[in-house]
Amino acid sequence: MSRRGTYVNDLAPFFDDCCWMFVLPARSARVAVILRRGPTDWWHVTRWDTRTDAFERGQWFHGRIYPEKCDLCPNGKLLVYFAAKFGRPHSGGYSDSWTAVSRPPYLTALTLWPIGGACGGQGVFMDDFTLRIGSSAPRHHPDHPPGPLRLLPWLPSSGNAAPVVPCWLDGWDALPAPGSKTRITEYRKPCGTLVLGRDVPANYHAPSRRRTLYTLYRVSGEPVTMFEAHWADWDQRGRLVAAVGGRIVAARLTKDDQLRWRQLADLHDEKPTRLEAPKWAQRW
């Protein structure tokens, strides 16, 4: 998989100890945001146009980003993320962790809520300008007002209320463990005549460099094949796509039920560089 367009059967050689990636796909646009961790405590944001498979490199961040607490608005133009710089001095009303909204692939905050600590801080877009904020979020920072955003409190799902889920869980159905009402063993997401299953280990807490097992099923429930990736999903074009180490790949299923993978982007060799957000990404 040294060049784009080459197909391979096995993804195992492309897992990378240097980095791993998690992807946030927009709900109503052919756009996704790639959150890459590595090297070490560096994070990098890349915007992926899934219509053309163009990749726009964005800003780097030295600290911690929590992918499971991030979300992309339906049209893909705003990113809400939870980040931290623990153990480093802060002043001026800021804290060691915060929730912010930015224009991807940049992290420059349009609006920001100081949080403090690792609890809470999640955000989910209900539409392009309506955002639910975790209950631990206080008032916004005075230098970073929410602009045109409509803010809603974080409320747990109950009764017949629609669940509040981020874009990366949209369309996935949870399968509870046998005899359990709370523990989930697998998520499944259909696309055409196939269903993608994502294994949820008992000790699973959040996306990480640990590999995740995926199973491809027919709609009848019959397993077709299995593979490991850091992240996988159906994209807005109906393709099976995955992140393996620092690579984004797409698959096709052969007549003998084998997955053939094609590289769309190789990001694993990229190194942290300073990048100033353009003017359009610094204002509402």
- Residue 31 domain-assigned (yes or no): yes
**Looking at the 3D structure of the chain, how many domains does it have?**
1
- Residue 252 domain-assigned (yes or no): yes
Annotate 137-147 with b (16+ C-beta within 10 A) or e (fewer). Answer: beebbeebebe
Average pLDDT over residues 51-58: 98
Helix (H) or strand (E) holding 72: strand 71-72
**pLDDT recorded at residue 2:** 43
- Show the beta-strand stretches assigned E in 134-230: 150-153, 173-176, 184-191, 194-199, 212-218, 223-229
- Residue 146 domain-assigned (yes or no): yes
- Residue 1 domain-assigned (yes or no): no
Average pLDDT over residues 6-20: 84
CA angle, 188 then 79 then 125, to 5° = 60
Q: What is the pLDDT of residues 194-228, one digit of tens each?
A: 999 999 987 677 788 889 999 999 999 999 999 99
**For residue 160, pLDDT beyond 60:** no
- Residue 199 domain-assigned (yes or no): yes
- Residue 114 domain-assigned (yes or no): yes
**pLDDT recorded at residue 156:** 56
Query: Which domain, by its residues, includes 43?
Result: 7-156+164-281
- Residue 277 domain-assigned (yes or no): yes
Average pLDDT over residues 3-8: 66
- Residue 2 domain-assigned (yes or no): no
CA distance 77 to 105: 9
